[in-house]
Structure 1
Amino acid sequence: MKERESIGSRLGFILLSAGCAIGIGNVWRFPYMVGENGGGLFVLVYVLFLLVLGVPILTMEYAVGRASRLSVLPAFKKLEPKNSKWHIYGYFAIAGNYILLMFYSVVSGWILRYFVLSLMGAFQGQSPESIERIYQEMMGSPKILILFMFITMLITVFVTSMGLQEGVEKITKIMMILLIIIMIGLGIKSLTLPKAAEGVKFYLMPNIENVKKVGVGNVLYGALNQSFFTLSLGIGGMEIFGSYIKKDRSLVGEALLVAGLDTFVAIVAGLITIPACFAYGVAPDKGPSLIFLTLPNVFAAMPGGRIIGSLFFLFMYFAALSTMIGVFENDVSFSIDLFGYDRRKAAAFAGLVITLGSIPCAFGFNVWSDFQPLKQGNCIMDLEDFIVSNLLLPIGSLICCLFCTSKYGWGFDNYIEEVNSGVGIKMSTALKWYFKIVLPAILVFLAGYGLWSYFA
């Protein structure tokens, strides 16, 4: 059997894992979630939930990967008790990684398109109506959407084909370092804008009046939801990176570093966008349209907005592309582990499947817009996002949690032994009751309430 590839350095592992986790959910969803949920208290609760929910599940995915040295389906087959069926979850995890990229590639293409437009000065001097027209023209054109999706997929396949260390690790490290540098620069610039202090106060200072307007329950659930989904847990997205690392360090410290970097990027993204919104009299609770409709208006009115806007969409694209590459590495590893393909053949196969599978998502905004699954106003991307975010991620995380804590699965003792192997922070066995009872209960609530609220 061919020896498994490994990540070349600890920094590479941290940045690669963080790159997979850091994506549109951090730099797009987090700022508008803060805006919609009353500001500072949401941020505090989000960080708390990340520590008590996200980090434990992350250590479980890492532990399964490192103990098996395999991708998620064969990993469960190797670690599960004889004649048990835990590995069936692996098929759904594989499907989840493919479906995720079938719409993520399209959204990444939007960001690349906006980077090009901003670089060309397309937003400068434009009225809000003109900027909205630019957005509508993009969404109404299957050719534009498919072209920029295809460019993103080409980059992803090329980088992954180069190898784990020479391609995936090296390129992701460069992108992540550039992303952090650009973000810090944009954050400093945003903080120097007029009325920026008001934006920072709204963003980071808890305000009971803001929370009352939204509802305490909505704020708590929103923070719980965001803390869970930000790390892309439940479909083996992080498990694969665990399979590439050695046992020299315990997994708790690594998970805390990845979660910390993920949170840092999300918070700085808010420090870029929310003070800018306050500076130019734009409401920060515009939801998903914040990035593509609201902020181009801000950049159009800002001195040096062409450069700042270009850098903003470049860092957005780096965040999206790092997730594309991280998740795509899962798809490549599936073909290597299950079919014995070499890396280039596996990347070409997965790339072809995802590229073709992304076309319906692009069509869903124009030629197939009459198809509205699930409920009125939905499109194909909403259906794909629902399958991944509302079904596969929470249910997959619940299965992974039960697998690592139940005596009928891999078991808590095996999990603890693996997670604590190496130097660094150790997971206490006193938390066994929390891992076996409380954590699964939270995941059941998250899955159940998420489904109910989606259709309610």
Structure 2
Amino acid sequence: MKREKFSSRLGFILVSAGCAIGIGNVWKFPYMCGEYGGAAFILIYLLFLLIMGIPAMVCEFSIGRGSKKSVAMAFEQLEPAGTSWHLMKYIGIFGCYLLMMFYTMVGGWMIYYCFRSLRGDFSQADPEYVTNAFGSMLADYPTMIFWTVLICVIGFIVCKFGLQSGIEKVTKVMMIALLAIMVVLAIHSVFLEGAVDGIRFYLVPDFQKMVETGIGNVVFGAMSQAFFTLSLGIGAMMIFGSYLDHSRSMTGEAINITILDTFVALTAGFIVIPACFSYGIEPGAGPSLVFITLPNIFAQMTGGFLWSALFFLFLTFAALSTIIAVFENIIAFDMDLFGWSRKKSVAVSAVLVILLSMPAVLGYNLWSGIQPLGEGSTIMDLEDFIVSNNLLPLGSLGYVLFCTRKNGWGWDGFMDETNAGEGIKFPAALRAYVTWFLPLLIAFIYLKGYYDMFSGKDTLTFVCWMIAAVVFLGFICWCAWKKTTAKKAV
């Protein structure tokens, strides 16, 4: 079966950026800025994007383009015979499915809130009504199911039309609209009365606030956000590398996508933080910022229903662009593994993803008694923990090691692929850094995530989970250090 290709370089950049730009850019980045001292946090975040995010993205893209396969078959194409790198595909396959088991639900929340905003439900509403609206939605499982299924159907319909006619064409429109809406919202926000204090907080580094919060906490927060914001580790980017020709080098494209992703995150801060200061709201309020704090602010604005609708439309586009990108990965798994047609893969995958999304939906109502990570946790929390704290960092670690280890693709094979074409070349001088220091940084993020999650639990629980973390990490290291004398598979 002939491999599909992007019709243009812009299409590749916007689709890949759409995958990276998700709800976390708006949901998490602004409140982390609020919690960790504004601009001081942003400076460290940008540093880690440069030294961690871009090299890891280049590795993932290069494996995709070098193999011309999804993560389901990429390692079989590139690994030396006798090695076990192909086991890495299960991280990508499970990761994409698990991500969609709760991300589709959250995307449904966005489109539902956009609908309610257009209907004027929050216009001039009192704070109690807005606060209760979110809890009422979570308890109303028929409503949750409807909007989750709707966004799944929209995503799979787009994917059914293929790469150029469906994904590329629709994502281009969504991304351009998303950027335009963000700029309009940001301009509106910075001209609110009292917004200047928020702009100062956002743009002027407050190192004293950073010291008060804890330098280590701020550095790790910036490091983890810089790493997770690019959606690396489960092959979500790899698939788009596999659709790319060799006219451009991978490093330049990774930089462009990172810049676009960063622009969205920073612009989200200009939307949220000045508005919070203008209305006397704490910008470090956590995830509730999106569904409770901001709707309360919009309710007080003149024409608030319009600004609220635009905001949640932008969030819907951000969620849907990621959902479409990951759906394409899931569809490609079947096409690569079983030789299915796109039509058959779309039909089977759509049914499977919708059914797998139901536990997260029911975890807030009918199955709320299931609290897998302790009191107050939900099924979504477990799914998110498996993806964010395990599969993303472990997958990225595996990709970096595969590109640098002699028993993997190897540095020379990686450099030949990533530097093919015009554009910025990956510096050969970074070999020692990418081979040794970058894997250590990713491993640190992985283990620190486990420590933060379980350090407050009883001793036995903490020890058991930390042992599990080390065992999972050991699997990746075993793949990297398993020796082989066989020649590379063709």
TM-score normalised by the chain length of structure 1: 0.99
Aligned equivalent of 2:34? 35
**Shift of residue 100, structure 1, vs aligned partner:** 0.1
Aligned equivalent of 2:104? 105
SS in 2 for 1:378: coil
Aligned residue identity for 1:259: T
What is the CA deviation profile of residues 192-245 of structure 1, one whole-angstrom value per residue up to 9, with x for unaligned ones? 101111111111211022212311111100000000000111110100000000
**Shift of residue 176, structure 1, vs aligned partner:** 0.1
**Shift of residue 92, structure 1, vs aligned partner:** 2.0
8 A Cα contact 2:131 2:292, kept in partner: yes
Aligned equivalent of 1:91? 90
Aligned residue identity for 2:200: K
Aligned equivalent of 2:485? none
Aligned equivalent of 2:375? 376
SS in 1 for 2:28: helix
Distance in 2 of aligned mates of 1:231 and 1:109: 22
What is the CA deviation profile of residues 109-144 of structure 1, one whole-angstrom value per residue up to 9, with x for unaligned ones? 111111011001101121111111111110111111
Aligned equivalent of 2:403? 404
SS in 2 for 1:367: coil
8 A Cα contact 2:111 2:316, kept in partner: yes
Distance in 1 of aligned mates of 2:288 and 2:72: 37
Distance in 1 of aligned mates of 2:76 and 2:432: 26
1:300-449 maps to which residues of 2 (within 5 A)?
300-449=299-448
SS in 2 for 1:44: helix
Aligned residue identity for 2:148: M
SS in 2 for 1:87: helix
Aligned equivalent of 2:201? 202
Once superposed, which parts of structure 1, at least 4 consecutive aligned residues long, lie more than 6 Å away? none
8 A Cα contact 1:73 1:88, kept in partner: no
Aligned residue identity for 1:200: I
- Residue 234 in 1 paired to residue 233 in 2? yes
SS in 2 for 1:237: coil
8 A Cα contact 1:59 1:252, kept in partner: yes
Distance in 2 of aligned mates of 1:389 and 1:135: 24
- Farther off after superposition, 87-96 or 378-387: 87-96
8 A Cα contact 1:27 1:269, kept in partner: yes
Aligned equivalent of 1:26? 25
1:247-266 maps to which residues of 2 (within 5 A)?
247-266=246-265
Aligned equivalent of 2:158? 159
Aligned equivalent of 2:481? none
- Farther off after superposition, 26-35 or 149-158: 26-35
Aligned equivalent of 1:51? 50
What is the CA deviation profile of residues 286-311 of structure 1, one whole-angstrom value per residue up to 9, with x for unaligned ones? 10000000000000001111111100
Aligned residue identity for 2:131: E
What is the CA deviation profile of residues 395-431 of structure 1, one whole-angstrom value per residue up to 9, with x for unaligned ones? 1111111000000110011101111000111111111
Aligned residue identity for 1:240: I
Distance in 2 of aligned mates of 1:213 and 1:150: 45
Aligned residue identity for 1:225: S
8 A Cα contact 2:186 2:270, kept in partner: yes
Aligned equivalent of 2:184? 185
8 A Cα contact 2:79 2:408, kept in partner: yes
Distance in 2 of aligned mates of 1:140 and 1:277: 28
Aligned equivalent of 2:478? none
Q: How many residues align?
A: 455
Which blocks of at least 5 consecutive residues in structure 2 are unaligned?
456-490
What is the CA deviation profile of residues 68-115 of structure 1, one whole-angstrom value per residue up to 9, with x for unaligned ones? 100112110110000111010101210100110110000011111110
Distance in 1 of aligned mates of 2:274 and 2:398: 41
Aligned residue identity for 2:355: L
Aligned residue identity for 2:294: L
Aligned residue identity for 1:113: Y
Distance in 2 of aligned mates of 1:298 and 1:18: 29
1:212-231 maps to which residues of 2 (within 5 A)?
212-231=211-230
Aligned residue identity for 1:417: D
Aligned residue identity for 1:413: D
TM-score normalised by the chain length of structure 2: 0.92
SS in 2 for 1:70: coil
Distance in 2 of aligned mates of 1:91 and 1:284: 39
**Shift of residue 166, structure 1, vs aligned partner:** 0.3
Distance in 2 of aligned mates of 1:59 and 1:257: 12
8 A Cα contact 2:276 2:282, kept in partner: yes
Distance in 2 of aligned mates of 1:107 and 1:168: 21
**Shift of residue 36, structure 1, vs aligned partner:** 1.3
Distance in 2 of aligned mates of 1:384 and 1:223: 23
What is the CA deviation profile of residues 331-383 of structure 1, one whole-angstrom value per residue up to 9, with x for unaligned ones? 01101111111112111111111100010000101111111002221100000
**Shift of residue 271, structure 1, vs aligned partner:** 0.3
**CA RMSD, Structure 1 to Structure 2 (Å):** 0.7
What is the CA deviation profile of residues 268-321 of structure 1, one whole-angstrom value per residue up to 9, with x for unaligned ones? 011001101111111101100000000000000011111111000000100000
8 A Cα contact 2:72 2:336, kept in partner: no
Aligned residue identity for 2:244: I
Distance in 1 of aligned mates of 2:70 and 2:169: 21
Distance in 2 of aligned mates of 1:413 and 1:232: 26
**Shift of residue 21, structure 1, vs aligned partner:** 0.4
Aligned residue identity for 1:251: M
8 A Cα contact 1:175 1:322, kept in partner: yes
Distance in 2 of aligned mates of 1:428 and 1:298: 47
1:104-183 maps to which residues of 2 (within 5 A)?
104-183=103-182
Aligned residue identity for 1:83: G
Distance in 1 of aligned mates of 2:31 and 2:349: 33
SS in 1 for 2:80: coil
Aligned residue identity for 2:48: F
Distance in 2 of aligned mates of 1:367 and 1:77: 43
8 A Cα contact 1:237 1:327, kept in partner: yes
Aligned residue identity for 2:20: A
- Residue 290 in 1 paired to residue 289 in 2? yes
Distance in 1 of aligned mates of 2:373 and 2:302: 44
What is the CA deviation profile of residues 162-212 of structure 1, one whole-angstrom value per residue up to 9, with x for unaligned ones? 111000000000000000000001111111101111111111211022212
- Farther off after superposition, 345-354 or 324-333: 345-354
SS in 2 for 1:438: helix
Aligned equivalent of 1:71? 70
Aligned equivalent of 2:3? 4
Aligned residue identity for 2:375: Q
Aligned residue identity for 1:155: I
8 A Cα contact 1:193 1:276, kept in partner: yes
SS in 2 for 1:346: helix
